[in-house]
Structure 1
Amino acid sequence: MKKRTLFSALAIGCLVLSGCASKKDLENCQNENRQLTSEYQSAKETIAANNARIKSLEDQLAQAKASAAALQGSLDRSLNNADKNNVNISKLVDQINESNQYIRHLVEVKTKSDSLNMVLTNNLTRSLSREELKEVDVQVLKGVVYISLADNMLYKSGSYEVNERAEQTLSKIAKIIMDYRDYDVLIEGNTDNVPINTANEKMRNIRNNWDLSALRATSVALYLQEHFGVDPKRLTAGGRGEWNPLAGNDTELGKQRNRRTQIIITPKLDQFMDLIDKAPEE
């Protein structure tokens, strides 16, 4: 009887130890699963951004190839009358060659621009904390980098003055702007469609949302200049009021999305003019 009791106790102890080990393994698996899920989501977002940039480049290449094919078709038709049009054919061949050179140059410039924008975006995104990423959206659209910041993280309540909370985030954006000196910066203010509160003393001299959006954009431009030494010649500040909404103003969430300030980083205009100067003459 004693032996049977001892055996039962040992069996129960083994089951308890086994249950503890299984619970710990389960917790480890759950933690590993959450980490893998997070890494998978991050990878999906990176792939989606890269696919968008590839699609844009493919569209430009398709247009360039279509132009080259049209010129090639003109050449083929001209060859049928070679005896009468030798001079024109020679000129057309030169145009095709110049067009092909321009296509290659355009692809090189586009590839370089996309690469720089990808590096710029990645550097900025990595420098932002998880909390900042909840209120800062970074996108690349048609070769231009858009940094959208929520108003409640930038400005004092009921004001267009930049608050202390925004300093850390703006310092990271300023570093990117300073690192990429060949890019211009447009700061664009946006609001919802709710009229401003003129009873607020700070808002008494502001006429409407358009005024408010322009003042907020100017405040950010001055902050970047005075606190971080960004060259004001590179900065342009403007307001779009309620006229450039991201969502409908019929919900609080939509209004919140529309109340934003965008910092738009774009290659300098003279770079595009240089590119146009290199285009072949018709």
Structure 2
Amino acid sequence: MKKIMLLSASAAILLSSCVSNKKYAELEAKQKETQDQLNTATVKLNACLEDKDEMTERIKVLNNTNAALLNNVGDLATLSKKEAENLERSLESIKEKDLAIKSMRDAINKKDSVTLALVTSLKGAIGNMNDEDIEINVEKGVVYVSISDKLLFDSGRYNVTNKAKEVLGKVATVIKNKPDIEFMVEGHTDDKSISTSMFQDNWDLSVKRATSVVRILQDEFDVDPKRMTAAGRSYYMPVASNETADGRARNRRTRIVVLPKLDQFYGMIEEGMEQASKASN
């Protein structure tokens, strides 16, 4: 670089003494252009050097990574017998967990299929009834049949009406065809307090209405009493606001809750795990 600048300066002095001013100006412009090109080349060279340094660092990192991998492979190749057994047990544990998850999923799917079949049967049996008086739905895998008190009972009483017995008979037919299920009959009221010679309070009313439905299912439709539970909820589980007449009417209801049999559910899981274990051996 210094030699080039010195030659350029010498040339300029020499030329200034033996060439015209016009020629000198042309040479001076050309020298400036050459200098600019030299500066540009220098910048590019420095950039290339920086790129080279960066690539060198990357290569070092890759080499270190490869060395670590090779060391790991060597460690694996020289596993002691005990370490190999521990590794085998760990892999077997993972495999068993995978089988357990699959079995649980299969059991859940089977349970969902049973639930769907039950809902279909119930809707098919009582599908011609007014939807405002009867609702069938599924929440978190549990089947609920909700029947309004307007259909089941006369106002302020707990004796089941003849019209309601027709509905309960249809429900009983479906329940009796599925002997593996258990269910609970819940009585619900609105929040209007009641205290008469017949009922002490809303708790009393809700329990007596649930018990009345259970007795009808047992005495008139031969449902096994061991499969039933009667419960009163009073007004503590509303489905609508008690501030309006319509809301209070919705809250006055009797609900049949199909209880999931957890022992059967876990039995399906255990059966699935046993079958999966046999298949893997």
Instruction: Give the TM-score, by structure 2 length.
Output: 0.64
Partner of 2:229: 236
Secondary structure in 1 matching 2:175: helix
What is the number of residues matched between the two proteins?
A: 197
Distance 1:96 1:119, change over 3 A: same
The CA deviation at 1:279 is 9.8
Q: Give the 5 Å matches for 1:1-282.
A: 83=79, 85-198=83-196, 204-274=197-267
Is residue 190–residue 259 contact of structure 1 (8 Å, CA) maintained in 2? yes
Report the Cα offset of residue 129 of structure 1.
4.5
Deviations 1:112-141 (A, max 9, x none): 111121121112112225443331100112
CA RMSD of aligned residues (A): 2.4
Deviation at 1:220, TM superposition (A): 0.7
**Cα distance change, pair 88–231 in 1 and its aligned pair in 2 (3 A):** same
**In 2, distance between residues paired with 1:81 and 1:262?**
65
Q: Deviations over 1:133-180 (max 9, x none)?
A: 331100112221100010111113321111111011111110111111
Checking the alignment, whether the CA contact within 8 Å between 1:185 and 1:235 is kept in structure 2 is: yes
d(CA) in 1 for partners of 2:97, 2:199: 53
Aligned counterparts of 2:74 and 2:169: Cα–Cα separation in 1:
65
Give, in whole Å, the separation in 1 of the partners of 2:268 and 2:86.
27
The aligned amino acid for 2:171 is I
Alpha carbons of 1:126 and 1:174: their partners in 2 closer, same or farther (altered >3 Å)? same
Pair member with larger Rg: 2
CA contact (8 A) 1:143 1:266 kept: no
TM-score using structure 1 length: 0.64
Give the Å deviation of 1:255: 0.6
**Structure 2, gaps ≥5 residues long:** 1-72, 274-281
Task: State the alpha-carbon separation in 1 of the partners of residues 74 and 250 from structure 2.
Answer: 61
Runs of 5+ consecutive residues of structure 1 not aligned to the other structure: 1-78, 199-203
Residues 182, 267 of structure 1: 8 Å contact kept:
no
